[in-house]
Structure 1
Amino acid sequence: MRTRLKAPTPSTVLATIAFVVVTALVLLPIAIIVLTAFKPAAEVNAYPPSLLPDVWTLDNLKTVTSDLPFARLVGNSFVFAGGVTLFALVFDSLAAYALARLDFTGRRLLLIVIIATLMIPFQATLIPLYQLVADLGWVNTYTGLIAPRAADAFGIFFLRQFFLALPRDIDQAARIDGAGEFRIFRSVVLPNAVPALLTLGLFTFVNNWNDLLWPLVFTTDAEMGTITSGLTQLTGPSGIVPHGVMMAGSLIAILPLVIAFLFIQRRFIENIATTGLK
């Protein structure tokens, strides 16, 4: 006996159309970056513009790698974004555990202060922070790039909320077995918070990899810049921007982010699906 396929309802059709349109709008800038990266300069500057290149070329990619210390910039980006992510996960998780699982005087006040720092614009603290880094002699160093971002108020709050959702019975069982607080944190809480840690790690890595202002301010040596700040050096004479070359550099810059997302996609989706559940 054959089962009849139900005709889609008007609401389903509209939802599908809306999904396709939104997806196309989201992917359009990425498609423009990819296609422009393989266009010769004449086609990039042609009017009216065309989406697909008539002639495919690798000249833009060659220009990026020849005009910039490309390998060094990419390496700096990995050290900067990866170092910040690693230290932020360690310090944020420690602070979040204390705020979520330990009872001590002033815990609520401390949490309020941490959340309040999220309301302070980053630009308001940039000058005194730069002065502090300069006084320590950390300008043009990996330490100066990483240390001021080794902890983050959003990360602490995010992990605290996740830790609050974990049953306290597992803490009590570990204490009965003689485990100390650090052992409970390392062997009990963290293994149950892997999805949250991966999610925060992805957000932190992406935000720092894409950051332009921070490496521009704290590095004056071209060899210490990141791939994002290095692309600003591609501006030609009289401020002319070689859009094809810029798109080629941007294409290479986003590839590690795509790989990072694909690598932890399963865990990332798992965390989003279980947000708010206890």
Structure 2
Amino acid sequence: MQDNIDYEKIEARDRAGKITQGIVKYTFLTFWALIVLFPFYWMILTSFKSYSSYNSEYVPRLIITSPTIQNYVSAFTEVTLGRYLINTAIFTIITTAIMLVIVVLSAFAFSRLEFPGKNLVFALFLSLMMIPNELVIITNYVTITDLNMRNSYQGLVLPSVISVFYIYLLKENFEQIPDELYKAAKVDGTSDMRFLWRVMIPISKPTIITITILKVIECWNSYVWPRLITDDSNYFLVSNGIQEIRENGFGRENIPAMMAAVVAISVPLMILFLVFRKKIMAGVARGGTKG
């Protein structure tokens, strides 16, 4: 009987310990989530405040007593934010499509094809990852200017269609596909392009989706290059629109209007990430695990 009682006490202590650990863990995660999400909450909250109520708050309020949508109306009427969203969508779609073609073909060549100097070329590719993008902006600017591509979609797109990191990520994923499949396909007379399209791309779909989504986010958030290469409002992206709102649209003090524009710009990316978050995590994990 004593043994049974002691055993029950041990089980009770174990359950209490697990409950305590769970409470501590979820308390910490909840606290951390609040810290991460608070800037988004503050952005949305401010976007619904009127200009006068925002400036009359000596102590910022965490709730809205009289919300208004006038800031959103102003963002799309007093500044052509809708046009900038269309430009950004065009830039993002074209850049992502071209980048995917280049990345898939390059990753396939480095992972399956044999040619002289392959390892050296790939090592040189990887070395480019050590160079910050900011260091090549001047060279890209001079090149695009000499080609008379300023204020054009070509000038916006061309410097953004190559990504060494995405090539590396997809190459590692391709190399996980057994060589026996490739050799069997070659014995059957299957061409490299047909094998790539019918076998490698379907198997590597999670990683390709991840690359696509990350590139879309990267293009949508582009700031330095669009600001540098365009001074014609017909080619402005949303990053230019935010700056225009700050400098010309409403004046430097109308923070609620700026927040409304930022919310409108951020919503598509938030929806995209929430819909495909599981595929992004699966693709990154698959691409980073070899063997």
Q: How would you bin the TM-score normalised by the shorter chain?
A: over 0.9
Amino acid at match of 1:264: F
Following the alignment from structure 1 to structure 2, what is the Cα–Cα distance between the partners of residues 209 and 161? 26
The 8 Å contact of residues 50 and 256 in structure 2, kept in 1 or not, is answered as: yes
| Structure 1 residue ranges (4+ consecutive) displaced by more than 6 angstroms after TM superposition | none
Residue matched to 2:273? 261
Residue matched to 2:187? 176
1:276 and 2:289 correspond: yes
Distance 1:44 1:144, change over 3 A: same
Following the alignment from structure 1 to structure 2, what is the Cα–Cα distance between the partners of residues 15 and 166? 38
Distance 1:239 1:121, change over 3 A: farther
SS of equivalent to 2:129: helix
Residue matched to 1:191? 202
The 8 Å contact of residues 40 and 244 in structure 1, kept in 2 or not, is answered as: yes
Post-superposition offset of 1:239: 6.5
Following the alignment from structure 1 to structure 2, what is the Cα–Cα distance between the partners of residues 86 and 41? 41
Post-superposition offset of 1:107: 1.1
Post-superposition offset of 1:102: 1.4
Residue matched to 1:127? 138
Following the alignment from structure 1 to structure 2, what is the Cα–Cα distance between the partners of residues 224 and 60? 24
Alignment of 1:75-90 (within 5 A): 75-90=86-101
Residue matched to 2:239? 228
Following the alignment from structure 1 to structure 2, what is the Cα–Cα distance between the partners of residues 24 and 193? 35
1:102 and 2:102 correspond: no
Residue matched to 2:221? 210
The 8 Å contact of residues 172 and 290 in structure 2, kept in 1 or not, is answered as: no
The 8 Å contact of residues 207 and 282 in structure 2, kept in 1 or not, is answered as: no
Post-superposition offset of 1:264: 2.6
Residue matched to 2:147? 136
What's the % identity of the aligned pairs?
26
**Number of positions where the alignment pairs a residue of Structure 1 with one of Structure 2:** 275
| Residue from 257, 267, 270 that aligns with 1:245 | 257
TM-score by length of 2: 0.89
Following the alignment from structure 1 to structure 2, what is the Cα–Cα distance between the partners of residues 28 and 165? 40
Post-superposition offset of 1:42: 2.1
Residue matched to 2:35? 25
The 8 Å contact of residues 234 and 241 in structure 1, kept in 2 or not, is answered as: no
CA-based RMSD: 2.0
Q: Please, which runs of 5 or more residues in structure 1 have no aligned partner? A: none
Distance 1:239 1:61, change over 3 A: closer
Following the alignment from structure 1 to structure 2, what is the Cα–Cα distance between the partners of residues 143 and 42? 43
SS of equivalent to 1:119: coil
SS of equivalent to 1:264: helix
Post-superposition offset of 1:226: 0.7
